[in-house]
Amino acid sequence: MPVVDDRYYKELEISTDASDKQIKQAYRKLARKYHPDVNSGDKAAEDKFKKVNEAYEVLSDPGKRMKYDRYGKQWQDADRFEQQRGQRRYTRQQSSGFNSRDATGGFGSIFDDLFMGRKGGFRGSRRGQDVQHPIEVTLKEAFSGTNKVIQLQMEEPCPSCSGKGCYACNGLGITRQAHRFEVRVPAGVKNGSKVRMAGKGGPGYDGGKTGDLYLIVSVKANSFYQRKGDNLQTDVPVPLTTAMLGGEVKVATLDGDIELKVPALTQNGKIFRLFGKGMPHLGKSGHGDLLAKVKVVLPQNLTDDEKKLFEDLKKLQKDV
């Protein structure tokens, strides 16, 4: 069957007949290239990273890929389309004179037992659809974990016909209802992290299980910290005199301020590693590290006495 929409394949730079291995290799290559941690502040790279993740999410799943190949960008409505096709087939069978309840013999009753419910419609439970929803958090929220309230429009079996199809739902058997959820985003999430909420997706049919809700996380860029995996890096202003003579400076962490001891003659750009002061490891114990990069701050508006001191220092250094 020809692919009706090849956009996801183009995002991963692969052909429509690519193998599972080729899909995974392409994703890893592009994810490394466009990951926000290596393209800090690059909005185009961030958008590309999200598109690559979206494409991989679909094409790496055989079931989703089959739906996408058949229905393109409407692949998430594949179950509904299939249900409509089934209803149309059943309607054509009835209008052509075929009736599972006629008196023509045992074939009708066999068909009825296998495929039809006693009140019409196709029998057999079906699991509800999984639902994906984007959610954005701040770096601080990603550090501590947070609760969010979201509202989604969910497809449900029409209450008037229990999903069989009627005038109230234009024969689709489906209505859309607003649902409000309070969700927990765990500490340590990254861009692209998926948070699964079991049983919060689309409702099942004929007693089938409810689908799951997947939150696709994006973490807002932070002007003070750069994130590298579970490590964080930040610039720490250090007065010139402290850099020369040694002392202590405050370093702001996501868990509160701490004092950093700066040795004498610390050079501009030196990085101090503060163990365990980075991001939590998602789903595990422990944290990454905070990399504190020294940014020596030069004095401004020197007094005459201060200028004299620096001139004396300059002379002393020449004599050494």
Look at 61-70, 270-279, 297-306 and tell me which has the smallest mean pLDDT.
Answer: 61-70
Domains and CATH numbers, the chain: 125-221 (2.60.260.20), 226-319 (2.60.260.20)
Q: How confident is the model at residue 22 (pLDDT cuts 50, 70, 90)?
A: very high
Report the pLDDT value the prediction gives residue 220, as an integer from 0 to 100: 93
Cβ atoms 79, 129 nearer than 8 A: yes
**Percent of the residues in the chain that have a pLDDT greater than 90, as a whole number:** 34
Report the pLDDT value the prediction gives residue 286, as an integer from 0 to 100: 94
Cβ atoms 254, 143 nearer than 8 A: yes
CA–CA gap between residue 311 and residue 315 (Å, rounded): 6
Examine the pLDDT at 203 and tell me if it is beyond 60.
yes
The model's pLDDT over 73-99, given as tens digits with 9 standing for 90+, comes to 777 776 776 665 555 444 444 444 444
Examine the pLDDT at 204 and tell me if it is beyond 60.
yes
The model's pLDDT over 156-200, given as tens digits with 9 standing for 90+, comes to 777 777 666 666 666 666 677 788 888 899 999 999 999 988 888
Report the predicted TM-score, pTM, of the whole model to 2 decimal places: 0.55
Report the pLDDT value the prediction gives residue 249, as an integer from 0 to 100: 96
| Mean pLDDT of all residues in 46-51 | 88
Cβ atoms 234, 226 nearer than 8 A: yes
Contacts of 156 by beta carbon, 8 Å cutoff, 6+ apart = 174, 175, 176, 177, 202, 203
Q: How confident is the model at residue 109 (pLDDT cuts 50, 70, 90)?
A: very low
Give 160 or 312, the one with higher predicted confidence: 312
Give me the count of residues in the chain. 320
Look at 46-50, 134-138, 240-244, 250-254 and tell me which has the smallest mean pLDDT.
Answer: 46-50
- From 170, 167, 199, 171, select the one nearest 183 (Cα to Cα): 199
Report the pLDDT value the prediction gives residue 275, as an integer from 0 to 100: 95
Examine the pLDDT at 124 and tell me if it is beyond 50.
yes
Report the pLDDT value the prediction gives residue 197, as an integer from 0 to 100: 87
Report the pLDDT value the prediction gives residue 32, as an integer from 0 to 100: 85
The model's pLDDT over 209-253, given as tens digits with 9 standing for 90+, comes to 888 889 999 999 999 999 999 999 999 999 999 999 999 999 999
Report the pLDDT value the prediction gives residue 165, as an integer from 0 to 100: 66
Report the pLDDT value the prediction gives residue 1, as an integer from 0 to 100: 47
CA–CA gap between residue 202 and residue 133 (Å, rounded): 12
